[in-house]
Amino acid sequence: MEQRTYHMSPEEFRRLGRQVVDWIADYYERIESYPVLSQVRPGDIRSRLPADPPAQGEPFADILRDLDEIIMPGITHWQSPNFFAFFPTGASFPSILGDLVSSGLGVQGMLWATSPACTELETHVLDWLAKAMGLPEQFLSTSTGGGVIQDSASSASLCALLAARERALDYRGNLHGLDGRLVAYASAHAHSSIEKAMMIAGLGRENLHLVAVDDSYAMRPDDLARLIKADRAAGLTPAFVAATIGTTSSNAMDPIRALGEVCRREDVWLHVDAAMSGTAALCPEFRWTHDGLELADSYCFNPHKWMFTNFDADCFYVADRAALINTLSILPEYLKNQATESGAVIDYRDWQIPLGRRFRALKLWFVIRHYGIEGLQYHIRRHVELAQQFAGWVKAHERFELMAPAPLNLVCFRHKAGDEFNERLLTRLNESGELYLTHTKLDGIFTLRMSIGQMYTEERHVVAAWEKITRTAAELENEG
């Protein structure tokens, strides 16, 4: 029989697509049977793959078989309810389905005209979230600012820094380059993406000046004011402050209002990175973490962390969209079109670094509509309750101690026997495959992090984790 095309037919897609959805559903049903942290060694996966790609197409069944046999052993199960490492990255079923539709449509939404719904749904869903989280008025698209979906908090912070840089230089940096006098500020607990943004934006890592922190690892406004004053006296131009709501290390809450007052007074751009903890603002009782946000120039949080939306989706808000657009807009002939020229539409390519963009708003729309704000609140509250319970057990245990306040869903703790013991404890726990935890250092002290935010984590998983931790610690103590 003569073959006219190599494509998969819609009929085959329908049949195989159902198989793949079944495969994903089966995966979630048995997810607790896998070791949470993949146990393979470097090179194990590649050694099982053929050296060359197939010349002839292969049956889909063979691809699925190899998915099970070759790929699955090399997966660390982020969606396991026993995943307590780093921060969570949710992948709820509604978000997976929304992402599937986005893939199915295959839209590239760089301009309004390249799919009006891609842009308008994004603007609308980001306004929805701003209202549901009680974010200040200026971040709404109906005000001077607005929101845009970025791939990651790293990109959002870089865009914020670029806009701050250009605002500080009256938008001449893009034309003439930098003069080496701009400085930015963050605490040592800010995410590493801030330092990376300094490298990429051309400000230089050494021009990120570190602000002292208090006992809870939160940035000290008095020290920020002092540094800015000293830098101005030295002829430098303070341009950017990156504050964090929920630091990655220990979930410290920088005091946004007091920092914002310093930034307003000094005319310095305040960016607030709430990558994980931002989602908590959906619950009114946790909005104290966002107090003073109306003094910020930009803000971001990641639905792909704690809002049950699969990677990648970061919501980035600016108070003055003109600053961002003036920084990132460039219009070659081949992108000119009537809608853009009319000025009546948003072209999100001007709000980000790449030109092209996926239709990510769909998955957010699916998630928000499936759960409703109440559903999201329910699960967030549950996670915070579980973390508070865990913190209580640590506090009550004579051999363990808390290493930082636990304001929401991250608990920093350690066994009292010292760094080396805790390192061994962590390795032993992760090798068991029963759970996955990671660590940080606080004041140089090796600290375990219990991060509770995986969608399907229930009380029984947290109870089992604590039992496993205490039992393993007792074993290690006995081994001496």
Ligand X SMILES: *Cc1c(COP(=O)(O)O)cnc(C)c1O
In this structure, how many other beta carbons lie within 10 angstroms of the beta carbon of residue 398? Answer: 6
Q: How far is the CB of 195 from ligand X (least distance, A)?
A: 11
Minimum CB separation of residue 184 from ligand X in Å reads 15
Structure-token match 């306040």, residue found: 405
In angstroms, how far is CA 266 from the centroid of its own chain? 29
CB of 431 to ligand X, least distance (A): 25
- For ligand X, the closer CB: 152 or 472: 152
Residue (193 or 298) nearer to ligand X, CB:
193
Q: Smallest gap, in angstroms, from Cβ of residue 193 to ligand X?
A: 5
| Smallest gap from residue 314 Cβ to ligand X (A) | 5
Look up tokens 């992090």; give the residue: 449
Kindly state the helix (H) or strand (E) to which residue 439 belongs, with its residue range.
strand 438-442
- According to DSSP, the β-strands at 237-244 and 438-442 are unpaired
Residue nearer to ligand X on the CB measure, 425 or 448: 448
DSSP designation for 400: E
User: For residues 78 and 87, which CB has a smaller minimum distance to ligand X in the complex?
Assistant: 87
Please list, in sequence order, all residues whose beta carbon lies within 8 angstroms of the beta carbon of residue 387, skipping any fewer than 6 positions away. Answer: 406, 408, 409, 410, 411, 450, 452
Q: Shortest gap between Cβ of 432 and ligand X (angstroms)?
A: 26
Distance CA 85, CA 431 (A): 14
Whether the bond into 99 is cis, omega within 30 of 0: no
Interacting residues toward ligand X by CB under 6 A: 87, 152-154, 191, 193, 244, 247-248, 273, 275-276, 302, 314
Rank residues 99 and 314 by Cβ distance to ligand X and give the closer one: 314
By beta-carbon proximity to ligand X, the closer residue of 304 and 461 is 304
Smaller CB separation from ligand X, 35 or 90: 90
d(CA 212, CA 450): 25
Least Å distance, CB 189 to ligand X, is: 9
Q: Which residues contact 315 (CB under 8 A, 6 or more apart)?
A: 126, 129, 147, 148, 149, 150, 278, 300, 301, 302, 303
Distance CA 84, CA 436 (A): 6
**Other Cβ atoms closer than 10 A to 91:** 20
